[in-house]
Amino acid sequence: MPDENGKKSLAMVVMSGDFDKLVGAFIIANGAAAMGMDVTMFFTFWGLRALKKNVRTGTTLFGKMIGLMYGGDVSKSHPSKFSFGGMGRWMFNKMMGNHKVQTLPQMRDLAVELGVGLYPCQMSMDVMEIPQESFIDGAQDPVGVGFFLLKAQEAEVQLFI
């Protein structure tokens, strides 16, 4: 329901780390914020990449494998189709640039500027061994699923991406 100031809100879970899904998530989030909505993005599992700086993560062997294979910051995400070992991302960036669409890192930074709440999931961080220091400054402190659910209960719109 609208809050005391009449603001409507959007709450989304972002579990995917795919380039195209993240582009979709940030276009929706930034559009909603620009319309004056209060926006919460809850990043879990692969989605955590959206908040990462370009640093290596992982402490155990498995964590290091994840850090290596699924590492890098948001600019390293691959499209869910037509990945072509990185070619796909380059192609989409080119096509988006041709039409003056922002890059994914620009969209993420705009979300921070617009006051979108970017929350990493604590449990996913633990399991994937991704520490809070590896996130950009604009990310909020980690939260749990209960936080998301409280936001979602009050939100006019909820999405799982």
| Contact footprint for its own copies (CB under 8 A) | 8, 10, 12-13, 15, 20-21, 24, 27-28, 31-32, 35, 37, 44-46, 60, 62-63, 65-66, 69-70, 81-82, 91-92, 94-96, 98-99, 101, 123, 126-129, 144-146, 148-149, 152-153, 155-161
CA-to-CA dists, residue 160 to 43, 82, 99, 157, angstroms: 10, 23, 27, 10
Specify the residue, 85 or 146, whose C-beta has the smaller distance to its own copies: 146
Q: Is 34 exposed, middle or buried (0-12, 13-18, 19+ CB in 10 A)?
A: exposed
- How many angstroms separate the CA atoms of 158 and 151, rounded? 9
> How many angstroms separate the CA atoms of 161 and 154, rounded?
19
**Closest CB to its own copies among residues 63, 72:** 63
Closest CA to 52 of 159, 148, 124: 124
Name which of 112 and 127 has its Cβ closer to its own copies: 127
| 5 vs 98, beta carbon nearer its own copies | 98
CB of 137 to its own copies, least distance (A): 26
| Minimum distance of its own copies from residue 73's CB (angstroms) | 17
Beta-bridged to residue 43, according to DSSP, are 14, 120
